[in-house]
């Protein structure tokens, strides 16, 4: 009886802790698009992504060092390839889009990652997709088309939407590759390794295109937050959540990232929320919800 009574407060604590942590993680990842929007114009693509990759890898380095015996030399080419697909190239695409469109555009496009993960599994790895998921994919793609057709302050944002959708598709490929080739390795250590190898791959381009002008303190702060908070610390946070509540429940943070991405951009940068963004966001998030239901 006493054991049951003592377990009740812990259960109540977990009941409110999980939504709180999911909200905090959604707010952090949503803010990454704000930080990219602020810093991209001063750093340029490669320099900003290099800072993000290097800082994120360093934050996670203790996990890699602890598990270093599980990372033999023959594994590193595979880690470098997955890092290029799952980190370096998507980060570059999102940063490119951040120079050309409001931060909320990238955040909304990022929600397609869940759907693209299912699509890549179906196309290349023989996973069943089912009618419900197929419908979810069609609805999600319709949302991307609606988003790409819109304009913000008179400017066409189709290129930024295409970049964000391509980045999300690469995330889908990367997630499938990690599942099949890196299962059993500590996730935070894998993240450090893939981010670190991506930083090395990006370094020559970053050095050759490093800005000649002085970079404002605001952009340095944004780049630092992007690497330390939105990449390194967020991964630690995410893997802790997965360990406690499971990957399926933890993945519901996908619903929150576009909401926070648009909200931060509106609150802190004064960027508008257009009807096109609202409609496309509803379509994409609705499709993700439909896809998640099909998984259960």
Tell me how far apart the alpha carbons of residues 121 and 87 are, in angstroms, rounded to a whole number. 19
Looking at residue 1, its pLDDT comes to 47
Looking at residue 284, its pLDDT comes to 86
**Domain boundaries defined on the chain:** 29-295
Task: Label each residue of 194-208 as H, E or C.
Answer: HHHHHHHHHHHHHHH
Looking at residue 13, its pLDDT comes to 53
- Is 221:276 a contact under the CB 8 Å cutoff? no
**Does residue 18 surpass a pLDDT of 60?**
yes
Q: In the numeric block, which tokens belong to residue 191?
A: 């993240």
Tell me how far apart the alpha carbons of residues 54 and 201 are, in angstroms, rounded to a whole number. 11
Tell me how far apart the alpha carbons of residues 135 and 146 are, in angstroms, rounded to a whole number. 17
User: If pLDDT is split at 50, 70 and 90, which confidence band does 114 have?
Assistant: confident
What is the pTM (predicted TM-score) of this model?
Answer: 0.87
- The mean pLDDT of 186-215, rounded to a whole number, is 95
Q: Which of 25-34, 259-268, 279-288 has the lowest mean pLDDT?
A: 279-288
- The mean pLDDT of 36-40, rounded to a whole number, is 96
- Is 230:28 a contact under the CB 8 Å cutoff? yes
**Does residue 32 surpass a pLDDT of 90?**
yes
- The mean pLDDT of 126-143, rounded to a whole number, is 84
């Amino acid at each position: 009886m006493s054991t049951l009574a003592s377990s009740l407060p812990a259960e109540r604590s977990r009941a409110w802790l999980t939504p709180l942590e999911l909200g905090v993680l959604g707010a952090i990842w949503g803010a990454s698009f704000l930080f990219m929007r602020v810093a991209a114009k001063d750093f340029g693509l490669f320099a900003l992504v290099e800072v993000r990759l290097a800082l994120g890898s360093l934050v996670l380095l203790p996990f890699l060092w602890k598990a270093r015996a599980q990372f033999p030399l023959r594994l590193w080419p595979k880690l470098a390839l997955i890092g290029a697909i799952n980190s370096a190239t998507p980060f570059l695409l999102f940063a490119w889009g951040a120079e050309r469109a409001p931060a909320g555009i990238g955040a909304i496009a990022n929600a397609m990652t869940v759907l693209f993960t299912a699509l890549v599994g179906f196309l290349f790895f023989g996973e069943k997709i089912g009618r419900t998921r197929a419908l979810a994919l069609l609805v999600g793609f319709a949302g991307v088309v609606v988003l790409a057709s819109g304009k913000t302050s008179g400017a066409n944002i189709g290129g930024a939407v295409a970049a964000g959708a391509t980045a999300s598709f690469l995330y889908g490929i990367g997630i499938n590759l990690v599942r099949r080739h890196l299962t059993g390795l500590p996730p935070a250590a894998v993240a450090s390794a893939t981010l670190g190898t991506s930083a090395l791959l990006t370094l020559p381009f970053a050095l050759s295109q490093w800005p000649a002008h002085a970079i404002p303190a605001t952009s340095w702060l944004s780049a630092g937050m992007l690497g330390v908070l939105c990449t390194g610390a967020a991964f630690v946070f995410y893997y802790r959540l997965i360990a406690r509540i499971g990957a399926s429940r933890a993945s519901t943070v996908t619903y929150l990232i576009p909401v926070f991405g648009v909200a931060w951009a509106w609150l802190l940068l004064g960027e508008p929320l257009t009807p096109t963004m609202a409609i496309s966001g509803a379509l994409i998030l609705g499709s993700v919800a439909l896809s998640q239901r099909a998984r259960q």
